[in-house]
Amino acid sequence: MIKTYQNYLIKLFYKKILLTSLIFFCLIIILNIFEEINFFKNLEINFLLPFFISLLRAPSNLFEVFPFIFLISSQLFFLEIISKHELEALKVYGLNNFKIIKVLFLSSFFLSLFLIVIFYSFSAKLNFLYLDIKNKYSDDNKYLAVVTKNGLWIKDEVSETIYIINSTNIENNFLKNVIISKFDKNFDLESVIKSSKVDIKRFKWEIYQPTISTDNKKIEYDKNIFIETHFNQKKINSLYRNLSSLTPFELLRLKKDYESIGYSTNDILLQLHRLASFPFYLTILTLLMSIIMLNTKRDKPVIYHIILGVFLSVVIYYFYYLFNMFGKNNTIPILTSVWLPLLILVIFIIIGLIRINEK
């Protein structure tokens, strides 16, 4: 059974997380609204649309800042119990610093599990809806690319010509086993171009020795031909960069589809490892701030703690971001880029816990 002091500490900690989350959520919505108004300023739309899609996007943005929220909430938790002299009162009844940290450890870990299992999937669905709605008003809406179990599919529109392109796999800057269906603006089929290899390094694709079918007639070319597109290797490699709009199960399906065509899965693996490490990340930040607060002199002003919280949030964010970038660029293995920063933070925590009860 949960003891009275445990129940009090858990409620206080969750109250601080809820309060901090609401503040961040409001700030995120305000910033999103300004961004969406700027995006739609030249379009004739219902004036409520920017507000609506700002709400759709906000949960996903909030999920990204939960590490800051847990760090700051832990700081606010200790500021309250210290200012009310509750820390000393708890110690009178035999509750030492380690037991307090243990309660926060379990509380943050179970809350983190809820966030990754329930909240993340919910925010991903809303973010997908946000991107889908916004894409309808984007200039890039007529240029689409997607990976399925049947390979890479691209829809492109150049002048009054529409291309539907399918490729079984990608090798470096080449599409392999390519079928390009060419339509006019009324979507009437004009020709079908087949080639074993297409160079997509530039926006002007080089099609190697194609076979072109027109009106049931096939012509095989010994020379290469060129077509203008809105896609090149770099743009195709940016497919699904917004992986936060996909649930873990959708990420696993996408990974399988990418592997089937030889497409790089580094970004997906990085996202999956980040999600798997998320509960540990939030819990570690809670423990880190708890140890810092218990080792800080009680007479420090509030502004000192505010500056400390902001400084630590920024340092840890860029520290974690730097390792993630190394993993994304293949400088270090994906596994190392995600878990090594957490291991380093754990080492600092273990050092801080050695004499925590003497504080």
- 64: its two tokens: 């990204």
Does 40 or 358 have the greater pLDDT score?
40
DSSP symbol at 166: E
φ/ψ (deg, to 5) at 47: -65, -15
Neighbour tally for 329: CB within 10 Å: 10
Closest alpha carbon to 105 in 349, 328, 359:
349
- The predicted-structure confidence for 177-233, as pLDDT tens digits, reads as follows 899 999 888 888 888 999 999 998 888 999 999 999 887 788 888 889 999 888 888
The C-alpha atoms of residue 264 and residue 75 are separated, in whole angstroms, by 41
The C-alpha atoms of residue 108 and residue 284 are separated, in whole angstroms, by 9
pLDDT computed for residue 263 by the predictor:
67
Does 238 or 208 have the greater pLDDT score?
208
- Segment 229-239 shows an average pLDDT of 76
Run of H or E residues at 218: strand 217-220
The C-alpha atoms of residue 321 and residue 164 are separated, in whole angstroms, by 37
The C-alpha atoms of residue 281 and residue 341 are separated, in whole angstroms, by 9
Mean pLDDT of the chain: 84
The C-alpha atoms of residue 300 and residue 6 are separated, in whole angstroms, by 27
